[in-house]
């Protein structure tokens, strides 16, 4: 049994320059990789969208989930919330400049998914 362990250890590859901190891809995915975040940003790419309209556009997401993700995106500076009226409450969301800067990545992801039919 010892020889099996020794041979497995000897075949281990050496890692040069391992990531000791989150790499740029991991950091970016923390921002736009959460469930529904990319879709929300995509729907806000052209103009402000009212909350209920956005929730309808997302289809499978509950209003509670949409609200949570919008709050996260707002806290990260990717979207801006605007109160349209207080009675009844009506709000709209729009992508900030920082949020729009992620649209190129989302466009490439969309194209990749369509190209590979996934």
The Cα–Cα gap between 20 and 23 comes to 8
Q: In 10 A of CB 9, how many CB atoms? A: 8
Instruction: Say yes or no: domain 20-115 is CATH 1.10.10.10.
Output: yes
User: 56-113: per-residue pLDDT in tens?
Assistant: 999 989 999 999 999 999 999 999 999 999 999 999 999 999 999 999 999 999 999 9
Helices (H) and strands (E) in the chain, counts: 7, 3
Query: 82 and 91 in contact (C-beta within 8 Å)?
Result: yes
pTM (predicted TM-score): 0.80
pLDDT value, residue 34: 86
């Amino acid at each position: 049994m010892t020889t099996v362990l020794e041979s497995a250890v000897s075949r281990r590859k050496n890692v040069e320059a391992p990531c000791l901190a989150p790499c740029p891809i991991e950091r970016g995915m923390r921002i736009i990789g959460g469930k529904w975040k990319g879709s929300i940003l995509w729907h806000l790419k052209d103009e402000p969208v009212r909350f209920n309209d956005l929730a309808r556009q997302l289809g499978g997401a509950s209003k509670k989930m949409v609200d949570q993700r919008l709050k996260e995106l707002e806290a990260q500076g990717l979207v801006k919330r605007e109160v349209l009226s207080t009675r009844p409450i009506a709000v709209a969301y729009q992508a900030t400049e920082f949020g729009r800067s992620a649209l190129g990545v989302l466009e490439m992801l969309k194209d990749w998914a369509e190209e590979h039919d996934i």
